[in-house]
Copies of this chain bind each other. A is one copy, B any other.
Amino acid sequence: MDDFDRYLARQAATVEAFLDRHLPAEDSYPPSIHRAIRYSLFAGGKRLRPVLTLAASEAVGGRADDALPAAAALEMIHTYSLIHDDLPAMDNDRLRRGKPTSHVVFGEAVAILAGDALLTHAFEMLATTCGENDSVEPAKLAKKDRRLRAIAVLAKAAGIDGMIGGQVIDLESEGRSVEPATLDLIHRKKTGALMGAAAHLGALLGGGSEEEIERLARYGRELGLAFQIVDDLLDVEGDPATLGKSAGKDRKAGKATYPGVHGLERARLRAQELAEKAIELVAPLGPKAEPLARLAERIVDRNS
């Protein structure tokens, strides 16, 4: 474990502690849904999106604290999307990260409602928990303005123009041959939009300038596409033991993938190019943005 691994682990632990503190206890009434929410939220994910949010806040000189509720909201929305994507009517996955999926453990009804609850709670958290410690009235109001913007950005990225739209196009493309432009659109919407929002919200709530916010949002979108291409590559080449899920799933499901459309070599090259573009985008921010650059390298080099 090097210094950067420790940095990532520390940021992920900060997000997990915040989530644990701000969610109702597992034995709250009615227990089934609270258990289902915590089961999926604390299933050992990489916490990539919330870590991106905290790192983006620090990259513009903000405190991680300012962006913590947004980081938590991002992870809740990511988790809801996984629960709903795994449902029998969608991807029909019975395993995720080596554990039975939500609907297998809690039944479909509770899984659907747990996803709905996580999505709803993400917006409640952004509307109530950010920047409550500020005592200066104008600063408080300016921060509230940024919180409203954050809610709008997150909803847009998670909604019909972003993640949900991507999932619909993806489902409708199953078993068909897909144009390269459509594949880019699916990946950019399904994965890029929410990762773009993760960096966007960090820069926004960390107090970044408009130029910094736009720069980091673009960084997140490029990184998100790179991440998804690597995901596609790992599905072809990865070791199931390291992945925590079976390989070759995409092909079996007839999913449109980067290696499927462009071949392995060009897919690898494209992920590398996107990561380099992301690194270039954050370079002008100097040493504070170093973790963002390292994150981009890590994402294309990962094996799980």
A interface, CB within 8 angstroms of B: 24, 29-30, 32-34, 37, 80, 84, 87, 89-90, 107-110, 112-113, 115-117, 119-121, 123-124, 126-128, 141, 144-145, 147-149, 151-152, 155-156, 158-160, 164-165, 167-169, 171-172
Contact = CB atoms under 8 A, between A and B. Distances in A.
A164 B36 CA distance: 13
Contacts of A87: 112
A141 B145 contact: yes
Given A30-B172, A160-B24, A84 B123 contact: no
Given A119-B120, A159-B117, A165 B30 contact: yes
A30 B190 CA distance: 13
Contacts of A109: 89-90, 171
A32 B172 contact: yes
Contact of A165 (B33, B119, B164): B33
A120 B197 CA distance: 14
Of the candidates A34, A109, A147, the one having the most CB atoms from chain B within 10 angstroms of its own CB is: A109
Contacts of A164: 33, 113, 116-117, 120
